[in-house]
Amino acid sequence: MSDYNWCHGPSCHTRHTQDRIRGVKGSKVLRTRKIAINKWNSRGVWSLFCSQGCYNDFFHKYVNEIIAIAPRTECLETPIDVVVETREDWQGNPYKQKVIQAIDNA
Ligand SMILES: [Zn+2]
């Protein structure tokens, strides 16, 4: 396994930044950023994308393909209880607060 990835942003190589410039005078290019894999990014998306912008560009370009992996055809629901608790404000006055509590079905 290599110790770096090329950024997957579809427009990474078109952004005008100094660190993307490669080549000699007369044949310079803007190159896709190389991302070093390290202990902080090795298990996440930041080993694949150099910036939030490149991450967003990738998602917007491939959103239909990404959604096709796990399409949501119906809503999901989480069972809860809504409980009214009596609390005290900073002066010690009681007030009512609705609190959402998860129901543990395990
Ligand atoms: Zn990038």
Distances (CA, A) of 61 to 16, 24, 54, 67, 75: 20, 32, 11, 12, 25
C-alpha 18 – ligand 1 centre gap (Å): 13
Question: Comparing C-alpha atoms, which of 77, 102, 73, 98 is closest to residue 87?
Answer: 98
pLDDT in tens, 68-91: 999 999 999 999 999 999 999 999
pTM score: 0.76
Neighbours of 99 (CB within 10 A): 11
Looking at residue 2, its pLDDT comes to 73
- Provide the residues around ligand 1 (an ion) whose CB is within 5 A: 7, 9, 12, 33, 50, 54
C-alpha 12 – ligand 1 centre gap (Å): 4
- The secondary structure element, H or E, covering residue 60 is helix 52-69
